[in-house]
């Protein structure tokens, strides 16, 4: 299925900005489940300089410098993506979570060596006993890892309430676990902490959902996670929607947690206070 995604970010400043430097991660990845056919980035005011690079995790990053005085900034990313999804995996065919844990602990082959970095603490995911205690009922002895993942995903979906006003991008994952309220970013961080507390590898994924589907988090940036499974690679899990992502999801970027993959971040000289607006539309092309 070919999807057209339009992601619009606007900044409104109370005072004039004389200089800003901004990084954007808004070009979807080419990966097993999708191919990027077209991508266009339009920024107003027009940047004086613009450069592209790949970050440590292989995400495309565009860095721009704007040195024109402005009180409004608009960033519009339009992408055409061929989304194929991935073939469903029967959970019972996956190895036990202990076998995956032990392989990651040894990290003596290329795949597990790469996965090992996603089993450690990261800036937004601190590991405390509370995450192990909450998730442990999903990790019965000898249970296949995908069964563990889908069970934990369902429990987060059932136990936590989605509320866009309850948290922000700086909300600590420990607070989300205590309050049981948050948004997709928070739920992804909770799930990641749960997997890592059991010695497993999980990474944060940013992306979009197809507009109009009966799923939570459409019309905005979305987030979920991938869990490493020995012999199968990385398997995506969306705890916000109690689902394994398929053709309704577009992957933008991945990293250890949100701090590695914010869609837009930067610094400005001047500006006073500011308001940010984000709108996302994803539809079949």
Structural domains for the chain:
2-84+262-284 (2.60.40.2250), 91-260 (3.10.620.30)
pTM higher than the cut 0.85: yes
* Residue (of 240, 211, 247) closest to 223 by Cα position: 240
Interatomic CA distance for residues 211 and 204, integer angstroms: 22
* Residue (of 150, 114, 155, 161) closest to 133 by Cα position: 155
Per-residue pLDDT of the chain (285 residues; tens, 9 = 90+): 999 999 999 999 999 999 999 999 999 999 999 999 999 999 999 999 999 999 999 999 999 999 999 999 999 999 999 999 788 899 999 999 999 999 999 999 999 999 999 999 999 999 999 999 999 999 999 999 999 999 999 999 999 999 988 888 889 999 999 999 999 999 999 999 999 999 999 999 999 999 876 788 777 899 999 999 999 999 999 999 999 998 999 999 999 999 999 999 999 999 999 999 999 999 998
Q: In this predicted structure, what is the pLDDT of residue 285? A: 86
Give the dihedral of Cα atoms 214, 219, 225, 229; nearest 10 deg.
Answer: 50
Phi, psi dihedral angles at 187 (to 5 degrees): -65, -35
Q: In this predicted structure, what is the pLDDT of residue 229? A: 98
């Amino acid at each position: 299925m070919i999807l057209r995604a339009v992601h619009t970010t606007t900044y409104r400043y109370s005072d004039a900005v004389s200089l800003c430097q901004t990084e954007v991660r808004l070009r979807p990845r080419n990966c097993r489940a999708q191919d990027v056919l077209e991508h266009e980035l339009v920024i107003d005011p027009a940047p004086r300089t613009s450069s592209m690079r790949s970050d440590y995790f292989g995400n495309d990053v565009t860095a721009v410098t704007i040195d024109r005085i402005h009180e409004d900034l608009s960033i519009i990313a339009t992408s055409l993506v061929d989304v194929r999804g991935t073939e469903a995996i029967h959970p019972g065919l996956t190895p036990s979570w202990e076998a995956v844990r032990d392989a990651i602990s040894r990290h003596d082959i290329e795949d597990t060596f790469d996965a090992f970095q996603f089993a450690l603490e990261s800036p937004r995911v601190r590991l405390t006993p509370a995450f192990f205690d909450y998730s442990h009922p999903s990790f019965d002895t000898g249970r296949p890892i995908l069964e563990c993942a889908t069970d934990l995903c369902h429990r987060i979906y059932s136990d936590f309430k989605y509320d866009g006003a309850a948290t922000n991008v700086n909300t600590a994952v420990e607070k989300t676990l205590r309050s049981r309220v948050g948004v997709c970013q928070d739920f992804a961080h909770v799930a990641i902490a749960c997997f890592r507390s059991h010695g497993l590898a999980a990474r944060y994924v940013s992306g979009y959902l197809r507009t109009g589907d009966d799923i939570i988090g459409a019309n905005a940036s979305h987030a979920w996670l991938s869990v490493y499974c020995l012999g199968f690679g990385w398997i995506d899990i969306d705890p916000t929607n109690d689902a394994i992502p398929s053709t309704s999801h577009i992957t933008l970027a991945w990293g250890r947690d949100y701090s590695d993959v914010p869609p837009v971040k930067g610094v400005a000289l001047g500006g006073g206070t500011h308001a940010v607006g984000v709108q996302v539309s994803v539809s079949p092309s």
